[in-house]
Structures are given as structure tokens and as C-alpha cells.
Structure 1
């Protein structure tokens, strides 16, 4: 059994063109130090709309990317994610097709924050319990059960000290990108959420920030996905 954070970021700031920036190696190494300290065996680097493929000492790195689709974010992790994607350039279904063509897993990221990806009918491989908003865990698990999908845990760390606050237990004989994909598809994964007080306080701050931005959505089980998707009227 391996502990893997499937949703991390190696750059500290966002809003740049979708390309690697000089801060990336620094962010990757700093994140790896914290991840090892917290007992993680591996992390997926999933920067927004480009793949950061770094090797770091003492930690298995899973290539990945967080794709900004027309309806919200989708994580693509595995042996061969796309090198870069255009913000809003693909639908969620197109991203799933691309992920599967490249032997990767497609995961619905933070389904109740700034997203209506959860309402899209596409063959996703898993749904994420996000480390910034684990209060939605019951809703995410209900959503996953309705789609017969496993749940995974990802910290969504944009700063190294956040890594591991949510992560995934992966049941595999070895920890490789392909083995992680296989474990997700075979439902041999389980999410874990850290209840450490500093993380809980930070989550409250994120909730306030995202609420003020209008990015949080409460589940509506009779009509899931109601509301305008990001970028649409």
C-alpha cells in the first residue's frame, strides 16, 4: 500500500502562460521535502494546463496535468499526460478521451468548487475529495457512488506546506504511473484526509475566500449540475 497525493502544484503563483516557469524546480523540490516528511511515497505534479515532469530524490513522481475545461477542472495523471493544454480549449469529455488515449486516468477535480464537470456524462475514472474542501466528502462519495466510481484524495497544494493534507492510499505491488492508473480503474484506492489543526484553519480560510468569489456549489441531488458552467452564460 502506497500513500500518494494525486493533486499538487509545483509553482507558487498562477496566471502565467501555460508553460514551465523558472520557479518550478524550486517548488517541486520544496514540495518533495514536505511530502517525504509527512510519509508520502509519491505525488502527482498537476500544474494548471501544463505537465511538469520532475524527478525528485526519495519520492516517486507521477506525471500529471490539471486541465481547465469548458466546465471546470479535470486531473489527468499517468505515464503520458499531454504536455500542455489551452485554457477552456476542450470539453470534459474530450479530456477524458485524450487521457485514455494516453493511458492516463481522468479524475473530476473539486466537483463542488467552480465546476459543473460533475454533471457531464463521460467515462471518468474517479472523483476527487479535495484537500481544500473536505467538508464536501459525503457529497462527493454520494456522487461517486451514483456513477460507480472510486474516490481519491488530493491536497490541491499550491504551497509546499499544504501537500498531503488529503491523499490516496494505492493498493499496488509497485509504485509507478501505470500502476496508479490501474489501481484507480480497479477501485484499489482509498482517500485519506489529514485533520491536523493548521490544515483545518487553512481550510476555513479557503472556504471564506472561495465563498466570496462565488466558487462554491452546494449539491442538489434532484437536479445535479444546475447553474452556469465556468466561462459560460
Structure 2
């Protein structure tokens, strides 16, 4: 059994996608230190629309957070796509791409800026997102309705966020292929750890994200809470 945070980012902000800046390696190193301190066995690196990796002593799982036309989808496993374009793929197309590459496809934060939960896509799991503890009950109901397993991912951009939500994975070995197979087989359990600092960060993030969404979106329909 392995404890893996299936959703993390190796830079604070999302500018210049695809540029392997020095901060990426440093950010990943900080995140892996936090993951080790929090008792995790591995960390999936899932930057927006590009796959990034760096040499690290702590086990990492390759991944990408695809900005599909329906919402964000995590693709984790041995061979995620190196780059994707925003809104280029539908949810169903993203899932098919993940499976073609022997990866698992996870519906990320289904109640934050996403309509992917309504898409006709063969997801392998649904994420309980570390940035949105207020959505846990809804997410559990969605997973039950769609008959899909739940996984946990912190969605960390800062090292203090790593491990707030993670996944216990029943796999034979800690390899990207074994982790992806276990997710697709449903041998996973979502775990959350929200302390006082995590909840304070969540409140601040929710305010910031709500303001940003109203400025950038075409309407309030994606803001379902």
C-alpha cells in the first residue's frame, strides 16, 4: 500500500507553459521534501498542459493536468502527453488519449470551474481536491452516482499544501505503470488531512479564485459550489 498525492504543481504560477525554468526543479524539490515530511511515498507532478520532471531522490509519478473543453482532467502514468492545448480536447478525447498511453484519467475538482462531470467520458476515478474541502460531500455523491472510485490530490502550488489530500493505492510496486493500473482497477482510497493552516489557506484561495472566475468566465454557471 502506497500513499501518493496525485495532484501537484512544480511552480507557483502558470505563466509560460512548457518553459523548463529553474524554478520548476526547485519547486519540485520543495514539494518532495514536504511530501516526505507528511509521510507520503510518492508525488504525481501534474502541471497545466505540459509534463515536467526533474531529477529527485523522492519518487515522482509523471502526469499532466489537461485543460479540456469540459474541465480539468489529470492524466497520470508511465507515458502522459508532453503537451496539450487549452480547450483543444474534449473530456472524452482526453480520457481516450490517457488510456492509449497506458495512463489513468481522473476527473479533477469536479465542482470547481468544470462541467466535465456531465461529459460522456470513461473516467477511471474522481478526485477529492485539497483546495476544496467544501466540495467533499458533493464529490462523494457524484462518485457514488457514477460508480467510480475516489482518489485524493492536494492540487498544491506551495509546499505547505502538499498532502492535504492524497490517495492510498494498493499496488504491487511504486512505478508509474503499477500506480496507473491500480487507479484504473479501483484499488484506491482517498484520504484528507485538513489542519487549521490548511483551512485558512482554503478560505483565502476560495475568495481569490471566486473573484478571478467572475472576471474571466462568461457567466456564473461554472461557479457551482
**Superposed pair shares fold, TM > 0.5:** yes
Query: For the residues of structure 2 that align with 1:61 and 1:207, how far apart are their CA atoms?
Result: 28
Mapping for residues 40-189 of structure 1, pairs under 5 Å: 40-57=40-57, 59-189=58-188
TM-score (norm 1): 0.89
Looking at structure 1, the residues matched to 38 and 152 of structure 2 have their Cα atoms a distance apart, in angstroms, of 15
How many angstroms does 1:228 deviate by?
A: 5.5
Contact 2:169 2:189 (C-alpha < 8 Å) held by counterparts: yes
- CA–CA distance in structure 2, aligned partners of residues 164 and 33 of structure 1: 11
Provide Cα deviations, 1:103-136, integer angstroms capped at 9, x if missing partner: 0001111011111111101101011000000221
CA contact (8 A) 1:67 1:76 kept: yes
For 1:33, the equivalent position in structure 2 comes to: 33
Q: Deviations over 1:56-111 (max 9, x none)?
A: 11x21100000111121110000000001111111111111100000000111101
Q: TM-score, normalised by structure 2?
A: 0.92
Q: Which moved more, 1:169-178 or 1:74-83?
A: 169-178
The answer to whether the 8 A contact 1:20-1:50 is kept is no
Aligned to 2:217: none
In 1, the alpha carbon distance for the partners of 2:176 and 2:45 equals: 12
Structure 1 residue matching 2:110: 3-state secondary structure: coil
Q: Please list every run of 5 or more consecutive structure 1 residues that lacks an aligned counterpart in the other structure.
A: 216-226
| Maintained 8 Å contact 2:11/2:23 | yes
Task: Identify, as 1 or 2, the structure richer in helix.
Answer: 2
5+ long unaligned stretches in structure 2 = 215-219
- CA–CA distance in structure 2, aligned partners of residues 70 and 15 of structure 1: 20
Aligned length: 218
What CA distance in whole angstroms lies between the structure 1 residues aligned with 2:43 and 2:222? 29
8 Å CA contact 1:127–1:149 kept in 2: the answer is yes
Q: Do 1:19 and 1:84's aligned partners in 2 also have CA atoms closer than 8 Å?
A: no
The offset of 1:229, in angstroms, is 6.2
8 Å Cα contact 1:18/1:85 also seen in 2: no
**2-structure distance, mates of 1:183, 1:115:** 25
SS in 1 for 2:7: strand
**Runs of 4+ with >4 A deviation:** 227-230
